[in-house]
Amino acid sequence: MRKLVYVLAAATLLAPTLAEAQTKKRSTGRTSVRIVQSRRDCCWGNRFTFEPYAGAVKDAYDASPDDDNTALLLGFRVGYLLSSRIRLLGNVAYSESDDIAPHGTTGYYLYDNTWVYTTAGGEFDVVPGRASVSLGLQGGAAFRRIDLDGTVGTPVLPAEPDEGFSAREVIIPSLMGRYRLTNRMTVMAGLQDNIFNFLEGPAKHSLSITGGLSFR
């Protein structure tokens, strides 16, 4: 019994030395490889992006016959890089269209369309790299408010009541081009189609062209 105790004690003392010797033996028999993530990689460091942008949007709900249904569009996106080619996006945008009332009589009201977009979705780089091209899809709600802006002549009918914002479902397929200037800044430009009432119909399309910067 006493001999067994001595053997166990000796094994306990010699185990670390034997393990270290075995590790050295293994390390000398093969080459270790260290993988270092490059700073040029898209996902190095911070994966979040902030993307302010501006552009023009054709308002599908502008009923005026003057063909002046293009409005300024301002917004920003918050992104999260899942990989070098896939990013998640959250989007908030604002636009206002002037003079949306039809001019059918000598007396009429002038209205403005105010839009607030809140959407989320993602993008996939079909052409990856420093200069990339991506397809995207977002969905959410667009909030519309009609504001009385003035009158022309003496309208016969009463003005539209101020009912505040009303929500409409919207999906936004997009085609986006990006060029990475530095590790933290990318210039971008794209084409989007804001599709309203796609569930209930008939669908209305508001095309927009935007450009901006992406910061990390």
Q: DSSP labels for 80-117?
A: EESSSSEEEEEEEEEEEE---S---SSSEEEEEEEEEE
For tokens 């023009």, the residue is 56
Beta strands in the chain (DSSP E): 48-58, 70-81, 86-97, 108-127, 131-152, 166-180, 185-196, 204-215
Reference 188, options 167, 159, 209; nearest CA is 209
Name the pTM for this structure.
0.73
**Hey, what are 159's tokens?**
């003005």
Delineate the domains of the chain, giving CATH numbers in brackets.
Answer: 43-215 (2.40.160.20)
**pLDDT tens track of the chain, all 216 residues?**
444 434 444 444 444 444 444 444 444 445 444 434 455 555 666 899 999 999 999 988 876 665 567 889 999 999 999 998 999 999 999 998 876 666 556 777 777 889 999 999 999 999 999 999 999 999 999 999 988 877 877 777 777 777 788 899 999 999 999 999 998 999 999 999 999 988 877 899 999 999 999 999
**Hey, what are 181's tokens?**
């200037």
